[in-house]
Structure 1
Amino acid sequence: MTDQAPLTPDEAAGATPEARIRVLAEEVLAETDLFLVDLSVRGWKGSQVVEVFADREAEPGTGVDLDLLADVSRRLGFLIETEEIITDKYRLDVSSPGLDRPLTDARQFRRHVGREVALRLASGETVEGELMDATPASVTIQPMETTGTKSKKQRVASGDPVQVAHADIADARIQLPW
């Protein structure tokens, strides 16, 4: 898992449009309970797409408020235009990462406690199971296995819980039940 150090405003002034927008997004999000998960600028001049994925540290089972995302989008769009970072037509998409995107920030794990995850470790090993706990330093996974017949499959605990440091996680994804 990677943590990118934000650019200072002076560094951003000579940086790429993506880096400059990242600085603005961090500033806008700092005024909310959201944090930046990922940002990309793709496409060509006149038809660029700016994608911003924001999440929040929250209790398990809670999500990101759509009204808050809309407000972030309005404020960020205003700043992009005011700073003249993109002067042609562009589309700004601000959303939460969704369950199909990898968990890339340690702060994302807490609200997914109770869900099944698959971790690929830096060592190449894979750990799959229920996310039991998440701290700033590590996660605890209860390994699971599938039992039963084809029509009545069940996931049951298998073995002792495994604690994994965030620094050892190369990729983490929510396992969708279907």
Structure 2
Amino acid sequence: MPAPAPTNRVRDVIEPVVSGAGLHLEELEVTRVGARTVVSVVLDLHEDETGGLSLDRIADVSRDISAALDDVIPGESTLEVSSPGVSRPLTERRHFARARGRLVTVRLRDGEPVTGRLVSVEGEGPASVLHVVPEPVSIKGRKPVAAPPQDITLDRVRDAHVEVELARLAHGSDAELFGEDLDEDTGTDTDDVDDLDVDDLEPDGSGTDAADPDAGAPAPEES
């Protein structure tokens, strides 16, 4: 049984492909499942961009990654490509930058949690400042009371996450941010929203309609 390719070697091959597609390599994991090598890749937009990573774009870069890995991984392999999704914890500056304009909850090391609209992120490193406008507090029988904006340095953050907004879901604004995933060979699903196998794509790259989660592609066969 051939040994799986080292993660660093796979990274060296994948990073130029991802960078050339104008994307950011968020995570990479290379594991062995039986006789098969599984390469799991998580991609994201760059921090100065907003919105979600489309299924079509994931499909395009997945083909390029698969081709680049042909001579790197011996034996049978599976490539899983996905985007982080709205449930990703915000642990790095770039995560907060990507969440600009979103409703977030930030738990502090030295104070009460803050839930509000993340307006901007300024500075670099632990001293980066998050500008958050808290959500108005509703009191029964009274008008909502707006709290003053807060500037929170990154080193004060214990943990944080994006809040799913039902109004945005109704308009499809949050649906694309739940993360989309494309698996080659096995069709192993890492998300419950949109899944597409590379073998099910039409020649023009259209594939399954990403707007219809129930129109999933047939389960692919093992190679």
Place the TM-score, normalised by the shorter chain, in its bin: 0.5 to 0.7
1:139 aligns with 2:130: yes
User: For residue 131 of structure 2, what is the amino acid of its counterpart?
Assistant: T
Larger Rg: 2
Measured against aligned partners, the alpha-carbon deviations of 1:138-159 in whole angstroms (never above 9, x if no partner) come to 321223365256xxxx986423
Unaligned runs of 5+ in 1: 1-14
Unaligned runs of 5+ in 2: 167-223
Distance 1:136 1:73, change over 3 A: farther
2:76 is aligned to: 89
1:109 is aligned to: 96
Q: Name which of 26, 29, 35 aligns with 1:37.
A: 26
Is this contact kept in 2: 1:53–1:96, CA < 8 A?
yes
Q: Name which of 99, 108, 112 aligns with 2:86.
A: 99
User: For residue 165 of structure 2, what is the amino acid of its counterpart?
Assistant: P
Is this contact kept in 2: 1:127–1:143, CA < 8 A?
yes
User: For residue 164 of structure 2, what is the amino acid of its counterpart?
Assistant: L
Structure richer in strand, relative to its length: 1
- Identity of matched residues, %: 31
Distance 1:68 1:105, change over 3 A: farther
**Distance apart, 1:69 and its partner CA:** 1.6
RMSD over equivalenced CA pairs, Å: 3.3
TM-score, structure 1 as length reference: 0.68
2:164 is aligned to: 176
User: For residue 60 of structure 2, what is the amino acid of its counterpart?
Assistant: D
**Distance apart, 1:72 and its partner CA:** 1.7
Write the mapping of 1:45-64 to structure 2, written as runs, cut at 5 A.
45-57=34-46, 62-64=51-53
TM-score, structure 2 as length reference: 0.56
Secondary structure of 1:50's match? strand
CA distance in 1, matches of 2:144, 2:77: 45
Count how many residue pairs are aligned between Structure 1 and Structure 2.
157
